[in-house]
Structure 1
Amino acid sequence: MSEADSTVSIAGPANCTRFMPPEELAMQSLTKQLFKSRLFRGIYLERCFVEQLGGYRDVIALQYTERDLEKQLLGSAVQLQMFYQRFVPNMWIGITRGSIGTYKHTPHPAQLETCVWTELSDLAFGEYWFSIKSIRFRAQEIQLKLKMIRAVEPEAMPTPRRSLSLRRPSSNSRISVITAGDSAAPASLVTEEQQMSSIGLEDFLQVLQQWRQSVVTTIYEFMAHDVNKRNIVGTIRFLGLLLFSIMSGAAVALRFMGIFAVRFLFEISRFTHTATPIIFKVLEFINKIIGAFFILITMMWKDLVVNRGGTGQQPKPLEANNRFKSLTYTPSEPHRRTPRNASSNYR
């Protein structure tokens, strides 16, 4: 931070400068950020002379709904007064409460006692919406810089309640007028019960007639103001454009679906033609793996159970039997043999 930024000029008999410590700069920045762009309602009361400043300031009282802003303004004013007590004991803070100096505050139900002292240009007395643009830290004054947003229109006074006329059954059939606030609670309950009991078929017929009249009036106004040549042509044009848009959209959607279906079937057929041999080879490979696995299991079972003394019985070897004598056959001589067809000579 340069030395020029850390000094501020003081208006007085002798134009001198005062060194501004960093904590004062931080306090000013924090206060500006707290109240900048705040919107509130205020009442421009008068223009008063401030002897401490030697000039006039405009007095704006807060509207009675700005209690949160009032608390923040008063709290900040107390903190600023305590802070500047060391540097500028006679610092004027443009936030006051009640009467001060030449200003005499008059209590009003629409105003708060907290007032803001600032400088306005060409503004008439009255109630306005204000916005806090910034906070001016001068040599001997702290002032809120306000901007008028718009004037607040005076609220309309509530109209007095008219007297209510109720019919009471009596021998003379007189109409008694009951003003609001004259009858007690039990009397009002009795009159309401009598009024409810006096509702009959004629009242329902009157209500239906009013409905019929309102419907007829609405239809007549619609036919008179809205049904014309221009609106009819516009409606027909809109319906035609809507129908044409729907038909063209449906045609484009059908064309897109057809192209998509043809391309999808083409890609599916090409994929099937390409993937079929691969699938067959994969199935054959899996079949060989499974077959080899079962063959391996069979060979292991045969080796463990059959060849190594399993449950199967091996055939016993034949033993020689000497109980029977062996027969020896001698071959016959060739000249003693009778030819197989010798008997055919005697025929």
Structure 2
Amino acid sequence: RFMPPEELAMQSLTKQLFKSRLFRGIYLERCFVEQVGGYRDVVALQYTERDLEKQLLGSAVKLQMFYQRFVPNMWIGITKGSMGSYKHTPNAAQLDTCVWTELSDLAFGEYWFSIKTLRFRAHEIQLKLKMIRPVEPEAMPTPRRSLSIRRSSTGSNRMAAITAGDNAQSAADPVTEKEQVPPIGLADFVNVLQQWRQSVVTTIYEFMAHDVNKRNIMGTIRFLGLLIFSILSGAVVALRFMGVFAVRFLFEISRFTHTATPIVFKLIEFINKIIGAFFILLTMIWKDLVVNRGASAANTQQPMPLEANNRFKSLTYAPSEPHRRSPRN
């Protein structure tokens, strides 16, 4: 159904009015609602929640008047007193206003609830509640001693005395016999399984009746289509980015290799020369220490020839070629 702008604005305003409201409520029972064709949980407001009761009843009346034009049989999950199969019993601890909602795996009793949001369905307006914590039973107050002043007058003298008395005296409770717990048999397990089956069937029926419709199916198909399109487009962009990155990386690596190769070769050559010079130095030191020392010792033992003892040595000159003058033209 197409929603006009005023309906969308009204829904948004109502959600903002009740969102995150905290209150105390009493989970009473689970009843079948013919207007929606399903079961709803009945939560009665605690007697101190009178402000919330006024707001809920006022909003329910306004919503009912607003939806008379669009959905005449709109079910609003806010009632006062008995409604349908639910028979309200007056109780001093609770108000007459009840909230019809859906709770999961919650035992009957008093709890702190928080209003999460409002659900606007095709034929139902429901408050979505969240259980915060259970309300612990209040302890009975201990009897207090009261002070009473007794004044007695005897003649002209007055005497004041303060006496302490107990307001309540403990009485001996009669001893009651413990009730015997009946044994658990096969029929109990069968009943539990039937209850589970009934709850599963009810949940599936409510899901198929309220959530599986044309609008939700089209929305799911649209969402899946957009999701698949986003994944494919993201994969294409990622592959393109990886390709560009790989090409740029290889280009920079080749450029760096081309630039750094001569430098690396020069460094290797320099280190090679240093190592070669070091080994040559070691060879020369070894030659001077071992070879030349042995040769000098052998030369000192042999007598020197006579020619070596001569102070002056003869010089021999090689004849040079005569210079010839070039003929002049």
TM-score normalized by the length of structure 2: 0.45
- Using the size of structure 1 for normalisation, the TM-score is 0.43
